[in-house]
Structure 1
Amino acid sequence: MLHARACRVDTGATAVPKCPRRRSRRGAVHPRAGRPSGSASLSVFREPYDFAERLRAGETILSAWSCLPGRHVAQLLARAGYPAVTLDMQHGEHDFASVAATIPAIVAAGGTPVVRVPVGEFATASRAVDAGAAAVIAPMIDDVETARRFVAQIKYPPLGERSWGPASAMALAGVTDPLGWLETANRATLAFAMIETRAAFEGIDDILAVPGLDGVFVGPADLSIALSNGAHVAPSAESTHAAAAKIAAAARAAGRIAGYFAPSVEDARTAQAAGFTFISLGIDAALIAEAGRAKLAAFEAGA
């Protein structure tokens, strides 16, 4: 089911239909209402840090994609209704200082912070979750060994080797009990491996079997380049959607979450129909440009 806040996003293209507000487990209808603290269960995490369990329950959650550095635009996207905002350190302009400043701003606006780290920078992934990221996306994960090295930096023992230093993350999640955090953080903090190369596509079942890996995230542009041997970049092509659907099916079979970078509303709907539940829709710079063009066109139409 599509998250209620996701249903209100204006993408500048085909409108995502409105739908009823999601009701919390305690019966409150406000989509940003907090949840009571507990101990050794995921109830120790207040919204928006219930992200992991909502995805595991099959809820579709949309994320804005943030490339512009600084907290202001990312926070505005969360306030606009995006349930999650992904900060891009790979192709975007966010460095770690920008990420550390922007994560609390997203949370303050009621959104869930996600970070995509640069290729191979798994130490940065560890810093991102310590700063409060609810999920980390690691690009260009081609094989089992690389996936294991990534997971090791995201998860505490016995799943990984994450070092202890979660003060910022605990504060943002509303957790005061260190043991409660330790007992639940591995399940509540998500590790996504990007599947965007031929090697990853062909080895998807082995990658999905890595302990501690919560899901995969498809980059359709790179995947289309890889599967065509460099003949084209076609993220919206039928062949790309067909390959992505196989990845989603493999993720479901393995009990993992399937994520997707959707270039358009139509691509997002196709991805959702294929079984993807964590879907990126809308890049900050493009959304600003679309809004500007629409405003100018509206003025000129009345001239």
Structure 2
Amino acid sequence: MWGNHILSVLSVCTLVLDLVPVFRSRSYAFQSNQGTTFESETDRQHFHNMASVMQEANRLRKVMVEGKEAAMGCWQMIPGANVARTLARTGVDWVLVDCEHGNIDDAAMHDAVPAIAACGVSPIVRIPDNQGWMVKRALDSGAHGVLVPLLYTAEGAEQLYPNYCTNRKTKEAVENVNAIAAVPGIDVLFVGPFDLGNNIGHPVVAGVMHENLHSTIAKVLKAANSAGKKAGIFCTSGEQAKGYADQGFHMISVITDMHILPQSVMAAVNKAKGQEDGPKLTGPYGK
């Protein structure tokens, strides 16, 4: 199942609750050797050795295949190779470079992806729109997976190249979750609770998630498990991430750079002033 395609994640909402199919991760340059001719057996062996090395370097896939624990990651929204490198050195398995809602353009993406990979961590890219050329740009940069927004149906998922993730942003994606999960090449259904809540008519209000949102998230997890796929979710704190890991989610975004930076600085400054620590490092949605 994990041999040839890139990790596919399916998300059910905009960036945050999207039923995103993340396609199995593998190098774009070594997608398949069907029809490939080699001048010598040495060249053929070199090809297979390189493909093997690149697959072994895919930390996200390795963790998910082993299945011993959830693959923990974080979100990069601030541009810069140093930011990417710093996030990748925090013990995560993957870092998502957000080119849709973050401040990261094409050039910054090409800086971030190799910086993350050089740390032995899987770089995942969320592209700005559901367009094939954007997928190619992300894959050419070396991304282990691509998150694609604005994907609504199984038919749309089938048209995507099995080397990137896809983002679902509407209620329609939730209704089609079982069909989408069954699409070959899709390996992960990835949930973004904020957008998911908005799109099903139950937004997160004052940090509280509606029961229907909880049940919808559970539906995504069940659909993934039933299809033999993985389930992922976007969180905004370690506490939330641990809770969803305990529920059985396999790929979890713990925090974003734009959340953790102000929260951490605020807590340190308040402590220096002898004031309360300020807001805990927990996300805006809770139990």
Contact kept, 8 Å, 1:236 with 1:263, in 2: the verdict is no
CA offsets 1:138-183 (integer angstroms, 9 cap, x no match): 1232101221222x2x44xxxxxxxxxxxxxxxxxxxxxxxxxxxx
Matching residue of 1:49: 58
- 1:76 has 2:49 as partner: no
Q: Secondary structure at the match of 1:68?
A: coil
- 1:145 has 2:155 as partner: yes
Q: Distance in 2 between matches of 1:80 and 1:226?
A: 33
Q: 1:125 aligns with which of 115, 124, 135?
A: 135
- 1:232 has 2:203 as partner: yes
Matching residue of 2:233: 260
Q: 2:104 aligns with which of 94, 104, 126?
A: 94
Q: Distance in 2 between matches of 1:118 and 1:293?
A: 31
The 1:95–1:236 alpha-carbon spacing in structure 2 relative to 1, beyond 3 Å, is farther
Structure 2, unaligned runs of 5 or more: 1-45, 276-287
Q: Distance in 2 between matches of 1:39 and 1:122?
A: 27
Give the letter aligned to residue 121 of structure 2: G
Q: Distance in 2 between matches of 1:301 and 1:128?
A: 46
Q: Distance in 2 between matches of 1:129 and 1:206?
A: 26
Q: TM-score, normalised by structure 1?
A: 0.68
- Cα deviation for residue 258 of structure 1 reads 1.1
**Deviation larger for 59-68 or 74-83:** 74-83
Matching residue of 1:161: none
Contact kept, 8 Å, 2:236 with 2:259, in 1: the verdict is no
The 1:196–1:244 alpha-carbon spacing in structure 2 relative to 1, beyond 3 Å, is farther
CA offsets 1:67-119 (integer angstroms, 9 cap, x no match): 11121112111122222111001111111111111111112233221111123
Matching residue of 1:105: 115
Matching residue of 1:64: 74
5 Å-filtered alignment, 1:1-303, equals 39=48, 43-45=52-54, 48-58=57-67, 59-150=69-160, 152=161, 154-155=162-163, 191-228=164-201, 232-234=203-205, 237=209, 238-301=211-274
Structure 1, unaligned runs of 5 or more: 1-36, 156-190
Contact kept, 8 Å, 1:38 with 1:44, in 2: the verdict is no
- Cα deviation for residue 48 of structure 1 reads 4.2
Q: Distance in 1 between matches of 2:234 and 2:132?
A: 21
- Cα deviation for residue 232 of structure 1 reads 3.0
Give the letter aligned to residue 275 of structure 1: G
The 1:285–1:213 alpha-carbon spacing in structure 2 relative to 1, beyond 3 Å, is same
Give the letter aligned to residue 127 of structure 1: R
Pairwise CA RMSD: 2.4
Give the letter aligned to residue 70 of structure 2: T
- Cα deviation for residue 56 of structure 1 reads 2.9
Higher strand share: 2
**Deviation larger for 126-135 or 192-201:** 192-201
- Cα deviation for residue 46 of structure 1 reads 6.3
Q: Distance in 2 between matches of 1:260 and 1:277?
A: 8
The 1:100–1:215 alpha-carbon spacing in structure 2 relative to 1, beyond 3 Å, is same
